Amino acid sequence: MWDISSLQLAKLQFFSSLSFFSVFGLSTVVLGWILLFCKGMTHRKAADGRWMEMYRFWVRIFALSITVSLLGMVFLLIQTGALWPNLLVRLGPVSGPLIVLIAALTFVIKLFVTDVMLYRQGTLSSWLHSIFVLLAALGLTIIATLLICFQSWLHFPAGLVPDTSPLTLIDWRVLILQAQAWHRIAFMISLACLGVGGLMVSISASEALAKPLNAAEQLGFRIGAGLVVLGLGLLAVCCVLFQAELFRQDTPLPTIALWAQKLVLGLLLLLAVVSLFQWGWYLKRRSEFGKLPRWAQHALVWVGPASWLVLWLTLILLSLRDGQYFVHGLITYAEAFSSEQSGVLIATVTLVMWLLFAMILAGFIFLARRAARYGVVPVRKIRRTA
């Protein structure tokens, strides 16, 4: 009944893992810069306690997000080797050094930066701890930039030594400095701002339904609403300026992808209407978002799921645009795929992976709602003693 080849199942599994990792990875980067902004505001002479309280809450969401991102990266690396072994042979001189560099940066940031940032705040001076927050934000941004530039290069390969196999770059600066890569980075920033802003609005609205919001929670509500507007605005600008390269289609999209496009457009329009109402109410009443009518608060709870669904579907649609090519015009999915893989095995692994992703996402939502409901609990890392 389902006429799906092993190659199509492999692409479905791989793109699911790629989009899952990208959603949490992009959210982690934006959350890192929000935490840095909060820490920076605490160093003002006129600073009050709401910035530190906001930092202490959202650093917990940051810790959850970076953990899920690392899990997604592990899934992605395993699937790259298992499903596309021939890709590493053809693309080794380009992908190999990047994988080693990204893995090394991830190890250093996780072990020496984020662990100090999360678990050693009480033992460091405020300024020294802020430096670690800055290093974490910068490190995560560098990793995300390298990954986005590499993904853009796969769609617009340039700077290669002619007629060589495996593919070899003449100058690595081409991969980083090509205009298409930075257009894609701007587009990803807009998606990430929309996703994180939606998450902040959703959590803040759920808190407002349970209890009156304090000053720090009201502040988080406003910042989240501002990020949604910023994300929608940047997204509109990027779609107008870079539409030809971001949404280039070499082959017609399947019917389900066309419906996904319509769903994304509908959700973006709905988010724009909700955001317009939210800010219109705020500017007219000059009152806090936490005092919106309860029916509006219930609607705002769904801004987070809607924005993350937009982020997830858009990332999948971007991955489908080159049709049959893994590296545009050079390496097809069929050439990179291992033909020895059984379709039944790939389908089974895909279903198990989706179940794991659902469990991880449910755990993330549960812990985020628990943190929002019961407030900030000091994070302490328990060590074993000899």
Q: What are the extents of the domains in the chain?
A: 6-373
pLDDT of residue 250: 66
Give the model's pLDDT for residue 131: 93
Please give the pLDDT value at position 192.
Answer: 95
The 3-state DSSP class for residue 298 equals helix
Omega before residue 166 within 30° of 0, cis: yes
Coil/strand/helix, residue 332: strand
In the chain, the amino acid numbered 41 is: M
- So what's the pLDDT on residue 144? 94
Phi/psi of residue 242, nearest 5 degrees:
-120, 25
325 sits in which H/E element: strand 325-327
Q: What is the DSSP letter of 109?
A: I
pLDDT in the model for residue 342: 74
The predicted structure's pLDDT at residue 311: 92
| pLDDT per residue of the chain (386 residues) written in tens, 0 to 9 | 345 678 888 888 888 889 999 999 999 999 999 999 999 998 887 767 889 889 988 998 999 899 899 888 888 888 888 888 888 888 888 888 898 999 899 989 988 888 888 888 778 888 899 999 999 999 999 999 999 999 889 888 888 887 777 888 888 888 888 888 999 999 999 999 999 999 999 998 888 888 888 888 888 889 999 999 999 999 999 988 887 777 766 667 777 778 888 999 999 999 999 999 888 887 877 777 777 888 888 899 999 999 999 999 888 888 777 678 888 888 888 888 877 777 788 888 889 988 998 999 888 888 887 777 665 544 444 444 43
Q: Which string of DSSP letters, residue by residue, matches 173-218?
A: HHHHH-HHHHHHHHHHHHHHHHHHHHHHHHHHHHHHHHS---HHHH
pTM above 0.95, yes or no: no
